[in-house]
Amino acid sequence: MKLEKVMRNVYLTDGMLVTKSRYGSHYGEKVFDGFREWIPWRSKLAAMILKGYTIDFKGEEKVLYLGAASGTTLSHLADIIDEGFIYAVEYAAKPFEKLLELVRERNNIIPLLFDASKPWKYSGIVEKVDFIYQDIAQKNQVDILERNTEFFLKKGGEILIMVKARSIDSTVEPEEVFDNVLKKIKSRFKVMKHGNLEPYHKDHLFVHAKLF
């Protein structure tokens, strides 16, 4: 098996993205010899990485994950941040049930069943973090990110946001939505990279930025 290192604990083998993991399958992905397949159609972060964009994780970061859903992407992020901690916020109980399976088998995930648009509710739980990852398809998702940044992001900390054009405004062209989002983010962050997630996810934009 030929492995090509992409970033910390992330490899490419035969065009397939995998994370180094000692855990079993969480969402139906293949598992082999200590690796778990990372399916780009299921995870926007996987799609971004497969498109050649990487994030330079050290593995000991504190991460705040907004919109963790059932833990598909979270499971791989937990493989990468294997010496750090991830605060996983999700408001819907049903997917959270599945996410809790993940929490039980690993010890680097703190589950938070809270509304991400109200960060003050968990302000006495989450510490200052190095990284905020956000994937919540909501109209005001940039505001939600900013509110959480205010409460929890360290100076010089980074954000990665997945934007779904249709959930922000379905009446205008995605490009227009993306321009507005970028403008908003640029007022508080230094944008490091951004791009779309075609062909894996249609009309999606990712933005990786750093807090001034």
Kindly identify the residues of this chain, within the stretch 34-63, that bind another protein according to CB under 8 A.
62
If one asks whether residue 122 binds another protein (CB under 8 A), the answer comes out as yes
Please, which residue, 27 or 151, has the CB nearer to another protein? 151
Q: Which of 46, 63, 112, 116 binds another protein (CB under 8 A)?
A: 112
Stretch that binds another protein, among 23-31, 75-83, 93-101, 187-195 (CB under 8 A): 93-101
Query: In this structure, are residues 211 and 188 in contact, taking their beta carbons and an 8 Å threshold?
Result: yes
Q: CA 199, 63, 74, 186: dihedral to nearest 10 degrees?
A: -20
Q: Which of 11, 53, 152, 200 binds another protein (CB under 8 A)?
A: 152
- Provide the token pair at 39: 């399916």
Place of tokens 């001034």: 212
Residue 28 backbone dihedrals phi, psi, to 5 degrees: 95, 10
Q: Which of 5, 25, 115, 125 binds another protein (CB under 8 A)?
A: 125
Tell me the C-alpha to C-alpha distance, in Å, between residue 130 and each of 6, 57, 62, 85. Answer: 21, 10, 5, 10
- Provide the token pair at 1: 């098996």
User: Alpha-carbon distance 71 to 110, whole Å?
Assistant: 12
As measured in angstroms, the least distance from the Cβ of 120 to another protein is 6
**Which of 135, 45, 48, 122 is closest to 81 using CA atoms?**
45
If one asks whether residue 176 binds another protein (CB under 8 A), the answer comes out as no
Place of tokens 């979270």: 74
Please, which residue, 1 or 93, has the CB nearer to another protein? 93
As measured in angstroms, the least distance from the Cβ of 93 to another protein is 3
Stretch that binds another protein, among 4-12, 37-45, 116-124, 183-191 (CB under 8 A): 116-124
Please, which residue, 151 or 194, has the CB nearer to another protein? 151
3-class DSSP assignment, residue 78: helix
As measured in angstroms, the least distance from the Cβ of 143 to another protein is 16
The residue type found at 163 is V
Instruction: Indicate the DSSP class of residue 120.
Output: G
Stretch that binds another protein, among 53-61, 73-81, 119-127, 184-192 (CB under 8 A): 119-127
Binding interface with another protein (CB under 8 A)? 62, 85, 93-94, 96-97, 100, 103-104, 107, 109-113, 120-128, 150-152
